[in-house]
Structures are given as C-alpha cells and as structure tokens.
Amino acid sequence: MTTSPTVSRATAVAARATDLSKVYGHGETQVVALDHVTVDFRQGEFTAIMGPSGSGKSTLMHCVAGLDSFSSGSVRIGETELSTLKDKHLTQLRRDKIGFIFQAFNLLPTLTAMENITLPMDIAGRKADKQWVQQVIDMLGLSGRLGHRPTELSGGQQQRVA
C-alpha cells in the first residue's frame, strides 16, 4: 500500500498554541480572555474557530499570529517559538508567513485599494509578481475598484482587499 500524500501533509502543523493564556487588565476589571488553550492548526486545512461573542476568538487569533502578547503558554509558527523572537524578527515573520483579515478590516484610509493590497510588499521593499497580483484581483472581483479608497468600497469589497 502506498502512503497517501494528503495524510502526511495533514499531519504537519502550521501553527500551534500550547497552554495559552491571555489576561487583560488587573484587579476588578481583569478579563481572562484565554484560559489555558491548546490547539493545532494543520497545513493544508481550513480551521474554523466558533464560539459566543466575547469568548476569545479574536484574542486567540491575534496571539497566534504574533500580533499581541500573551500572559503565559507558548505559540509556534512552523518551527519558530514566538516568545523567543525580538520585535524585528517577529515583524519579519508576520510579513512573510502570515496573512490576516481583521474583523475591522484595518485598511489605510488614505491609500487606494491597490495600494492597500500591495502595502506589505511595498514596506518589505519587494516587487510584487504582477501576474499573480492581477490573478488574485480578478478572482476577488476587485479590478473595477482598484483606484478607490476604503470609504468608497462596500464592506465585502473592503474585506476582499484586506
């Protein structure tokens, strides 16, 4: 019997949180947003996080993406343990390995849709693969809106730009 490639790919872990806790604030206003969460996100799969409003979904994603600090536990992206990284390397890892669509899309209001799309590459000083960018834009149905600013886009269009 041959080994199925999908089986071996599915076992690789893209990101992992172990015993992760995140506490906001102190004393009476303290909020335990994550309470010892352990979860694997595997390569080549979609993972949905579901739960009531305020249960910590966004907090978990922010911590696993290296966008926010956590109180205890650990987070790994691939083989890299985030707590070992200095700010500069964390920034590089986020830029190279992580795409993030925020709940509030966080587009830059003064930039056009196109400029928002290429912003991470522009900051990194890299040239975008024009064909690939065009393919993604076509796939998302944004080609007629590239010169518009975020306030001139619908919610769905802003989401797809993000």
Ligand X SMILES: Nc1ncnc2c1ncn2[C@@H]1O[C@H](COP(=O)(O)OP(=O)(O)OP(=O)(O)O)[C@@H](O)[C@H]1O
| Residue 52 phi, psi (nearest 5) | -60, 160
SS3 22: strand
From 1-9, 85-93, 99-107, 139-147, give the range in contact with Mg ion by CB under 5 A: 99-107
Quote the crossing angle between the two packed helices 113-124 and 87-97, to the nearest 10°: 130
Separation between Cα atoms, residue 98 and residue 75, nearest integer Å: 14
Residues 98-157 binding ligand X (CB under 6 A) are 103
Which residue, 57 or 148, has its beta carbon nearer to ligand X?
57
- Tell me: does residue 58 bind Mg ion (CB under 5 A): yes
For the beta sheet containing 72-77, the strands, ordered from the edge strand earlier in sequence to the opposite edge, are 31-42, 13-24, 72-77, 80-81
Which residue, 31 or 124, has its beta carbon nearer to ligand X?
31
CB of 112 to Mg ion, least distance (A): 27
Which residue, 84 or 103, has its beta carbon nearer to Mg ion?
103
Residues 11-70 binding ligand X (CB under 6 A) are 24-25, 31, 33, 51, 53-59
Q: How many alpha carbons fall within 13 Å on the CB side of residue 121?
A: 11
CB of 49 to Mg ion, least distance (A): 9
Which residue, 24 or 100, has its beta carbon nearer to ligand X?
24
Residues belonging to the chain: 162
Cβ proximity of 160 and 138 under 8 Å: no
CB of 147 to ligand X, least distance (A): 31
Write out the residues near ligand X by the rule CB under 6 A.
24-25, 31, 33, 51, 53-59, 103
Which stretches of the chain bind Mg ion, using CB under 5 A? 58, 103
